[in-house]
Amino acid sequence: MTHTWLIGSVTEAAAARAAAARLAARHGVPPLERARLASALGARLRQCLAEGGTWRLTLGVRGTDGGGDALHAVLTPSPDASTAGAGTRWETTVPLPATDRPDDDSDSDSDSDSDSDSDMVPGDDPVALSRALMNADADTALVLDRLAEQEALVAFHRDELHQTNQGVLALHAELDAAGRAQREAFAAERRARNEAEDARRRLTFLADASAVLNTSLNHGEIVRRLPELLVPRYAAEVRVWLFDEEDDPHHPVTRPAATVRAARTGRPQYAADHPGGLRGVDDQPPSVLHPGRPLLCVPLLTHRAPLGVLTLSPPGERWDPDDAVMLIELTRRAGIAIDNARRFEHNRDIAETLQRALLTELPTTPGLSLAARYLPATHGMNIGGDWYDAFHRPDGSLITVIGDVTGHGLHAAVMMSQLRTALRAYAVDDGSPGRLLTRLHKFLHRLQPNLYATAVIARFHPDESTLTWAAAGHPPPVLRLPDGRVRALDAKPGAMLGIPLEQEIADHTERVGPGSTLTLYTDGLVERRAEGIDPGIERLVAALGSFGPAELDADLEDAADRILHPLLRDSARDDDVCLLLCHLQG
């Protein structure tokens, strides 16, 4: 059934609104939806009354596309009124619950344009309007109850949301604290890694620099290398003051007060306008010579006495404390390296003086030319036990000898001197080369049980065409015959001199004539670590055989140089070299 109301006044509008609410209640519309329908309809009716004229409200039940029913309200201007078409059509739909419809709606499929007396509230009946108002109040009370429930629910959710927010804030605080702790841990790890890397860098530099300083046995080279190692990474300027090196009297050097104090006290000094804060270093006022630049003055200490002072200026404003500690340690090592180099130079000078004194001039013998060469090693002590000698005996024969005492340095040179002197003493008595080596063997074994030597002795006699020789642990002599043939005299030699062994060293004899050349040498000429001694002897044989028949007669000194040059071209020169040529004039 369709219900229609004509509305032209406030009373009619109130009656229509109340009737619509009653009709919605009859069809089971929930109170909340019923109140929403009444409120919307009331607002629209107030707007229509404000516009004026007569309005027609139609309210009925219709089916929906979803298969259910809905209460459909339409408010339009009345077509019979003078304001027809002036207003705006308004309509709304309220879904009905799935319940049985009222009995009086059994003919709801038919339409009616007449007013329903049962649903219409008379506008002039105060009792009916009051009842309708009370019913509206009941709906309002239900809505307010529902609203109160919703407000309670909202309050509950508000409290729950607040607690949740508090938990989230607490979680954020914990996460922030954990993040800060993690960042601090990462920062500490980075600092520790950087400190470890800096420490590794310093230790690596200290080890490498120490190796560079200790590889040299020249104190002047060590002093030159110090600035090269430190500038510009660890110092802007480096000055080395060695006490025993006199300054140029024409250009005297003025030294900072901190440098002088370090020399007097033997303690490192730091001169600057601020405290250094360096462990084991005394703070001093800034230097008058360098007022705007800090100075670190470290004494070059040794086991005996200070050698000098190393004065450094920082690469920046000041040193890192750990860098300063490393520089002090490097200076200590540099002092030891300089002291070792100086002691080595002192011993080397003594040994060189002794050895040069022992390598006397070769004697002059009619019909026999001699040429000798001695080259010290270019590494290490430079002075070894290699030696040669040639002298006449009372019977007119010529003794030539070449030998090698084990070891290097002053001790080896002294032992070489003693062997040379002993040999000359033994040679005064008549004795063959083998007999002389046997006596030297016994002499060395009693004198120095832990020292050994090798040697070759050859004897030339002016009235004989033979060469007598003997060897003790030494490389074999090489003999060039007058016809140009060259061979090594590889007869069995005796053992090394000085070893704990009783031995009688045998003599060997070779026929020689004018144009013959005997070559005596030490192992430094022919031995190479990578290939042994035999290939070197073969090269010596080839070099001696390369001379023409008259070249050795013409210039034996030149021949000695021409032999040395090709044989030493690939030598590391880590051992002494001795060469003695004995040539019978053709």
How many angstroms separate the CA atoms of 168 and 182, rounded?
A: 20
Confirm if 312 and 295 have CB atoms less than 8 A apart: yes
* Cβ count within 10 A of residue 486: 18
pTM: 0.53
> Which three-class secondary structure state does DSSP give residue 571?
coil
**Bridge partners, residue 63, by sequence:** 69
Residue 117 has pLDDT above 60, yes or no: no
Same fold, 219-346 and 359-584: no
Residue 440 buriedness (CB in 10 A; 0-12 / 13-18 / 19+): buried
- State the burial class of residue 475 (Cβ atoms within 10 Å of its Cβ: 0-12, 13-18, 19+): buried
Is-contact 473 440, C-beta < 8 A?
no
Query: How large is the average pLDDT for residues 484-491?
Result: 93
CATH superfamily for domain 359-584: PPM-type phosphatase domain (3.60.40.10)
Mind listing the pLDDT tens digit for each residue in 348-391?
777 677 666 767 789 988 889 999 998 877 655 556 678 899 99
Give the pLDDT score at 122: 56
Average of per-residue pLDDT across 111-137 = 56
The torsion angles phi and psi of 380, rounded to 5 degrees, stand at 75, -145
The residue behind tokens 């090394």 is 496
Least confident interval from 129-138, 207-216, 303-312, 451-460? 129-138
Q: Could you count the other beta carbons within 10 Å of the beta carbon of residue 155? A: 10
Q: What distance in Å separates the CA atoms of residue 20 and residue 292, rounded to the nearest whole number?
A: 102
Give me the amino acid identity at 314. P
CA atoms of 251 and 256, how far apart (whole Å): 16
> Is the CATH number 3.40.140.10 carried by domain 219-346?
no
The least confident of 230-234, 354-358, 534-538 is: 354-358
pLDDT the model gives residue 83: 47
Under 8 Å between Cβ of 3 and 115: yes
Tell me what the mean pLDDT of segment 263-292 comes to. Answer: 89
For the chain, the domains span: 2-124, 219-346, 359-584
Contact, 33 vs 142, CB < 8 A?
Answer: no
Contact call for residues 575 and 528 (beta carbons, < 8 A): no
- Inform me whether the pLDDT recorded for 85 exceeds 80: no
Distance between CA atoms of residues 133 and 136, nearest Å: 5
Question: What is d(CA 23, CA 194) in angstroms, rounded to the nearest whole number?
Answer: 87
Examine the pLDDT at 106 and tell me if it is beyond 50: no
Q: 413 or 498: which carries more pLDDT confidence?
A: 498
User: 40-73 pLDDT, tens per residue?
Assistant: 888 898 999 888 889 999 999 888 887 788 999 9
103-117, 197-211, 263-277: least confidently modelled range: 103-117
What is the model's pLDDT at position 108? 40
Q: For the residues of 210-246, what is the DSSP string, one character each?
A: HHHHHT---HHHHHHHHHHHHTTTT-SEEEEEETTSP
Express as a percent the part of the chain with pLDDT over 90.
Answer: 47
Give whichever of 272-281, 357-366, 477-486 has the largest mean pLDDT: 477-486
What CA–CA distance (Å, rounded) separates 8 from 58?
14
Q: For residues 202-214, give the mean pLDDT.
A: 92
Interhelix angle 410-428/321-358, rounded to 10 degrees, is 10
**Class of residue 273 by CB neighbours under 10 A (exposed 0-12, middle 13-18, buried 19+):** exposed
Mean pLDDT on 341-348: 83
Helix (H) or strand (E) segment spanning residue 310: strand 308-313
> What SS3 class is residue 216?
coil
pLDDT band at 109 (very low <50, low <70, confident <90, very high): very low
| SS3 at position 555 | coil
Q: Which residue has the tokens 């309007």?
A: 129
Name the least confident of 339-348, 385-394, 403-412: 403-412
Pairing of strands 269-271, 282-284: parallel
Question: Is 140 or 537 the better-scoring residue by pLDDT?
Answer: 537
**What confidence score (pLDDT) does residue 383 get?**
64
Predicted confidence band of residue 436 (pLDDT cuts 50, 70, 90): very high
Q: What are phi and psi of 154, to 5 degrees?
A: -65, -40
Name the pLDDT band for 110 (thresholds 50, 70, 90).
Answer: very low
- What integer is the mean pLDDT of 173-178? 92
CB contact set of 547 (below 8 Å; sequence gap of 6+) = 480, 559, 562
Q: In this structure, what DSSP letter does residue 109 have?
A: T
For the chain, what is the mean pLDDT? 85
Does residue 463 surpass a pLDDT of 70? yes
